Amino acid sequence: MKKNVDPLKNIVSLCKRRGFIYPGSDIYGGFANTYSFGPYGVELKKNIKDLWWKTFVYQRRDIVGLDGPILMHPKIWEASGHVDSFNDALIDCKECKNRFRADQLIENQINKDVEGLKLEDITKIVKDEKIKCPKCQKENFTDARHFNLMFSTQMSKTDADDNISYLRPETAQAIFVDFKNIVDTMRVKIPFGIAQIGKAFRNEITPGNFIFRVIEFEQMEIEYFIEESSWQDTFDKWLTDMFNWCKLIGLDSKKLKEKEHLKEKLSHYSKRTVDITYEFPFGENELYGLAYRTDFDLKNHEKFSKTSLKYFDPINNKKYIPHVIEPTFGLDRTILALLCDVYDEEILENNEKRVVLRFNKKIAPVKVAIFPLMKKEELTKVARAIFEKLNPHWSVEYDETGAIGKRYRRQDELGTPYCITVDYDSLEDNTVTLRDRDSMKQERIKIDNLLDIIKNKLEN
Ligand code: GAP
């Protein structure tokens, strides 16, 4: 079995060919760094979201769910610090008019990390170090200036000047804003968490690498509210829980690492951040993040909203603003990491190439495919009956078109763990072949036992 050296190109092509991920606005020539999730992509997303919710909400007694709005009161983004601090330093090439993130240009060309430096210092480095435009190779840039990453939009209020609202750049703020509602209406006691899955939007200057950095993406976030003194233990525990999640979805642990953020590089709200990085084909990059947000957000929302966000602790009769540990999981990056991990090409004994996605069975978009060996009424009748029997339980496909080998190859590319074939022996002895995606081994199974056998295989 031979792993492909740089699978990203092949993954992008397979994703389009097989209905996982299409370029956004495709028939209009595309719309940079936006993507549609096709029929199989959407199943994969759903399976990951369901498993995440099951793991962090249903299977725990200390976390509740929320689905907050994307558009919220503009003051929220002042309170959260995003209006002032959610910036990248950008520069424009005066010659070819292309726009770049200054820190990335400098890092790529002279391997110097400028995060946290003042704009004047960044401008000076660009000039002194003769940084070149990667597009036209000239050295004629504007000064560096701040570019806020939030998308703004106009609300339809005609009588107000402040009718700007923002598309949320993180789901987290909706959780902080509803903290009081949840404390008042649910019987939660600290420590407890609020989980949310939803879209976030960022006007990234230099997006790219397929769905790694896009302008519209989904986050799965938890704000875990604690008493300040317990932050270190809670942080360590969450780091373990995050790695356990990676294992649960089948990510290769050898490709995962912990990366501690340097103090001077922490986000405006964080006192400690550890990224979980993944070795993508284009380099080691952030997959998930774990941050100790202190009481920064609740304190600021209390100040800006003039509403008390203190929590009354009945055990020790104390009133305080809770501190927060935030595990955050990017859904699109989860999908990209999984695709990179599970994509495999192998040359079969007959010299044919087999492309297979070795998804963990729990998240595979299709669990079982059913084929009649040929499109003959006596076979299709039995195959359709099996389809009807299995499809209330899982996402199941029925396919009667083309050569059987081609139908197997198609399901391999979708990562379907099991294929069932109805042949002429099936009509004699009520058995079918059950083929395993990874080993390609086939076993003969009684039709009556199919449901239990597959159930057992999928669950173990
Ligand atoms: N609430 C904290 C927060 O938003 P972040 O590190 O900026 O922290 C969290 O984002 C996660 O969201 C990242 O670890 C990543 O998985 C995902 N993410 C961030 N920006 C992204 C982008 N432009 N495209 C795709 N995913 C992104």
Q: CATH no. for residue 306?
A: 3.30.930.10
In a domain, residue 360? The reply is no
In a domain, residue 62? The reply is yes
- Judge if 178 and 44 occupy the same domain: yes
- Judge if 377 and 284 occupy the same domain: no
Give how many domains the chain has, as a whole number.
3
- Judge if 166 and 280 occupy the same domain: yes
* Boundary residue ending a domain (322, 340, 358): 340
* Ligand 1 geometric centre to CA of 219 (Å): 7
pLDDT at 158: 55
Q: What is the DSSP letter of 343?
A: E
Which of 242, 296, 325, 333 has most ligand 1 atoms within 8 Å of CB, for mutation?
Answer: 333
CA–CA gap between residue 445 and residue 442 (Å, rounded): 9
Measure Cα distances from 390 to 393, 448, 451 in Å: 6, 11, 7
CA–CA gap between residue 289 and residue 275 (Å, rounded): 4
CA–CA gap between residue 33 and residue 430 (Å, rounded): 51
* Boundary residue ending a domain (123, 148, 173): 148
pTM of the model: 0.94
- Judge if 255 and 377 occupy the same domain: no
CA–CA gap between residue 454 and residue 367 (Å, rounded): 9
In a domain, residue 125? The reply is yes
In a domain, residue 266? The reply is yes
Ligand 1: residue whose CA is nearest its atom 24: 213
Q: For Cα atoms 358, 210, 112, give the angle at the middle one, nearest 5 degrees.
A: 115
* Ligand 1 geometric centre to CA of 211 (Å): 12
- Judge if 289 and 243 occupy the same domain: yes
Q: What is the DSSP letter of 213?
A: B
Helix (H), strand (E), coil (C) string for 185-198: HCCCCCCEEEEEEE
- Judge if 100 and 72 occupy the same domain: no
- Judge if 328 and 390 occupy the same domain: no
Based on DSSP, count helices (H) and strands (E) in the chain, helices before strands.
Answer: 15, 23
- Judge if 278 and 377 occupy the same domain: no
Closest atom of ligand 1 to 291 CA is 2
How far is C-alpha 375 from the chain's CA centre?
A: 40
pLDDT at 162: 66
- Judge if 237 and 375 occupy the same domain: no
Task: Judge if the upstream peptide bond of residue 191 is cis by omega within 30 degrees of 0.
Answer: yes
Closest atom of ligand 1 to 207 CA is 23
* Ligand 1 geometric centre to CA of 238 (Å): 17
Separation of first and last alpha carbons in the chain: 24
- Judge if 64 and 176 occupy the same domain: yes
Coil vs helix vs strand at 439? coil
* Ligand 1 geometric centre to CA of 57 (Å): 21
Closest atom of ligand 1 to 171 CA is 1
pLDDT at 156: 77
Ligand 1: residue whose CA is nearest its atom 17: 330
Residue 410: which domain range? 366-459
* Ligand 1 geometric centre to CA of 5 (Å): 27
Ligand 1: residue whose CA is nearest its atom 14: 288
Ligand 1: residue whose CA is nearest its atom 11: 330
pLDDT at 317: 93
pLDDT at 157: 67
State if residue 301 touches ligand 1 by the CB under 6 angstroms criterion: no
In a domain, residue 294? The reply is yes
State if residue 219 touches ligand 1 by the CB under 6 angstroms criterion: yes
State if residue 325 touches ligand 1 by the CB under 6 angstroms criterion: no
Which of 219, 282, 293, 339 has most ligand 1 atoms within 8 Å of CB, for mutation?
Answer: 219
Q: For Cα atoms 1, 453, 373, give the angle at the middle one, nearest 5 degrees.
A: 70
In a domain, residue 213? The reply is yes
Measure Cα distances from 308 to 178, 298, 314, 322 in Å: 12, 9, 17, 12
Domain CATH for 452 = 3.40.50.800
- Which stretches of 292-366 are DSSP H helices? 296-305, 331-342
In a domain, residue 394? The reply is yes
**Angle formed by the axes of helices 377-390 and 450-459, to 10°?**
50
State if residue 328 touches ligand 1 by the CB under 6 angstroms criterion: yes
Ligand 1: residue whose CA is nearest its atom 20: 213
State if residue 177 touches ligand 1 by the CB under 6 angstroms criterion: no
Mean pLDDT, the chain cut into blocks of 10 residues (460 residues total):
65 97 96 95 98 98 97 95 92 93 91 86 94 94 94 76 87 98 96 98 86 96 97 98 97 97 84 97 96 97 97 93 98 98 93 95 97 97 97 97 95 98 97 97 97 94
State if residue 216 touches ligand 1 by the CB under 6 angstroms criterion: no
- Judge if 195 and 297 occupy the same domain: yes
Ligand 1: residue whose CA is nearest its atom 7: 170
Q: Are 310 and 319 in contact (CB under 8 A)?
A: yes
State if residue 286 touches ligand 1 by the CB under 6 angstroms criterion: yes
DSSP string, 146-190: EEE---EEE-S-SS-S--EEEB-S-SHHHHHHTHHHHHHHS---S
- Judge if 220 and 121 occupy the same domain: no
In a domain, residue 423? The reply is yes
